[in-house]
Structure 1
Amino acid sequence: MEWPISMLRHIESAGRALSDSEATDLLSRYGVVSHEELAGFAAFVGECGTPRSAYRMVDEHHGWLNRLAALEHQAREARVYSQTLIPRFLRTSEYDAACPCPSTAGAPVTRPPVGAEHATVLLESTVLSRPVGGRHILADQLHRLLQIADRGLVHIRIVPVNAQIYAPAAPLTALVLPGDVIVCASEDGDRITYRTGPAETAGMRQFLRRAAAAALPDRASRGLLEQARDAAAAGKLPACL
């Protein structure tokens, strides 16, 4: 991309808006190629920066994971919740391949979306005992989570199954983009729904706050991860934690 360094810095800091042609050029590098996809995603990103905007968009086109990764890459903060599977960006390739909806080719895997101090993943405890791909694959995946947590890349906290927070089935993500723009996303199989604006994101943000309040501290969460990893490695079914 032959753009001046100064212009890129202004764009990254939200000090300069993208023109239609520039947005098209940038999005095409993330796998967005059709006219309909470009128009829809560019409109959504544009609405995100509008004061008091409320916008919802469903992305079900090929390459949606790459577009999600583009937003994650720009985020200053991220909070992710899942009650079913390990989030895609933390998966080993073996775990991902064994999932019901594996990531598509070229999708980001085992890559934290933002800096360590601003990324938190909340996992319902049953995720640790769901033997995706078999015990050895689960054990390797849990070991990978421990490595990521130990390096401070992401805060991984466990939400007890008896917390009664009435979690939705779909994984939820809340991102804070430059300019304090909040974008919430919910995955549903082979598509994702984006929301922005106070009215559209209020319910998801409130749920994520409740989940964070119910989650165990880092030390206790790490202990449960170790317990589940060791049980899976020994070929035992981890208890419902």
Structure 2
Amino acid sequence: MQSPYPSTALDAARRAIAEQLREIRRDAGLTGREVAARAGWQPSKVSRLQSATTPPSDDDIREWCRACGAEEKIPDLLAANRTADSMYLEWRRVQRTGLRRLQESRIPLYEQTRQFRVYSSTVIPGFLQTYEYAAALLGSIARVHGTPDDVADAAAARVERSHIIREGDHRFGILLEESVLRHVVGDAAIMAGQLGYLLSVMALPAVSVGIVPAGHPRDMWTLETFTIFDDERVHVELLTAAITVTTPGEVAQYAHAFEEMAALAVHGARARSLISAAIDSLD
């Protein structure tokens, strides 16, 4: 059966919670229908919860444990449920107070990370964005997701946190698909300024930028945008959600994928030539 969850780590966390619910029911000597009757649910809901087809809410966990006379299990199950929630954050939820707070919330993680590895198939990574590019991009995000309009403050916060590319003991490996250079965010003037800035930051000793050329045979397919923080965690960006991966085996897979992409990329003068060509192509 195909998992309803986009990460094997999240799938494992959700299935572990479902198994605990099932064991609580069995220990109480109850059938699924009996739990449903005591909780005031349809029997199908019990089936979905204990098969991990549907993730439980906190209230679902409380009702399940009360129905089974296992109230002492509630605190640990709630903690496990919230940990699973943190692995998959819906953009609408994290952005509901505006985009600025989302930018600022990541500062502690960014400041404590020593090695960043970023692969982007979509946009210039936030570390390397100009204010104008960030404002145009965040404006599009706010419009699509229907979040509060604090774009100017959010863009300023994004640029402000980028000081780490020049300060502290940080190293950045950035890999971009060539299509990122050709996707015009804002307008031609904003994009030219962004690409010019990208050329300038390539001179920084802490920053390595590689471009995966378009139109060449390749053994590695285009992936979703992701960031590896040291060897501890990975953030993967989807349209509707952000996934946090912390399982060592999965982090290692993303690290391997980064190396595969790095082998396809060009660096130095060849990368700068592709960026310059993208600037020249702007109207």
TM over 0.5: yes
Q: Closer, same or farther in 2 for the Cα pair 1:124/1:118, shift >3 Å? A: same
Aligned to 1:58: 88
| Cα distance change on mapping 1:163 and 1:201 into 2, 3 Å | farther
Partner of residue 91, structure 1? 129
Inter-CA distance 224–204: structure 2 relative to 1 (3 Å threshold):
same
Q: What CA distance in whole angstroms lies between the structure 1 residues aligned with 2:131 and 2:170?
A: 25
Which structure has more RCO (C-alpha within 8 Å, separation ≥ 6)?
Answer: 1
Relative distance call for 1:112 and 1:69 in structure 2 (3 A) is same
The equivalent position to 1:175 in structure 2, one of 223, 229, 245, is 229
How do 1:136-151 residues align onto structure 2 when only pairs under 5 Å count?
136-151=189-204
SS in 2 for 1:79: strand
Task: In structure 2, list runs of 5 or more residues that go unmatched.
Answer: 1-78, 96-100, 143-150
Q: Do structure 1's residue 101 and structure 2's residue 101 form an aligned pair?
A: no
Q: State the match for 1:121 in structure 2.
A: 174
CA drift of 1:212 comes to 0.9
Q: CA RMSD in A?
A: 2.9
Match of 2:221 in 1: 166
Q: How many percent identity over aligned positions?
A: 31
Give the whole-Å Cα distance in 2 for the aligned partners of 1:69 and 1:121. 19
Q: Relative to total residues, which structure has the larger strand share, 1 or 2? A: 1
Which residue identity lines up with residue 105 of structure 2 in the other structure? R
Q: 1:64 Cα deviation (Å)?
A: 3.6
Distance of aligned partners of 1:113 and 1:187 in 2 relative to their CA distance in 1, 3 Å threshold? farther
Alignment size in residue pairs: 178
Q: Which of 248, 261, 274 is matched with 1:211 structurally?
A: 261
The residue identity in structure 2 corresponding to 1:173 is T
Aligned: 1:155 with 2:212: no
For residue 200 of structure 1, report the CA deviation from its aligned partner.
2.8
| Cross-structure match for 2:55 | none
Runs of 4+ in 1 over 3 A off after TM superposition: 62-65, 112-117
Mapped to 2, the partners of 1:58 and 1:107 lie a distance apart of 23
Summarize the Cα distance change of 1:202–1:84 in structure 2 as closer, same or farther, 3 Å threshold: same
8 Å CA contact 2:134, 2:158 repeated in 1? no
Gaps of 5+ in 1: 1-42, 48-53, 236-241
In structure 2, relative to structure 1, the CA distance for the partners of 1:87 and 1:204 (3 Å cut) is: same
The reply to whether residue 195 of structure 1 matches residue 245 of structure 2 is: yes
Query: Which residue is equivalent to 1:50?
Result: none
Pick one of 147, 162, 183 that aligns with 1:130. 183
Higher helix share: 2
**TM-score using structure 1 length:** 0.64
For 1:130 and 1:83, how far apart are their aligned partners in 2?
10
Residue 65 of structure 1: SS of its match in structure 2?
Answer: helix
Change (3 A) 1:130 1:92: same
Distance 2:124 2:159 in 1: 11
Equivalent in the alignment of 2:61:
none
Give me the whole-angstrom Cα distance separating, in 2, the residues matched to 1:113 and 1:214: 27
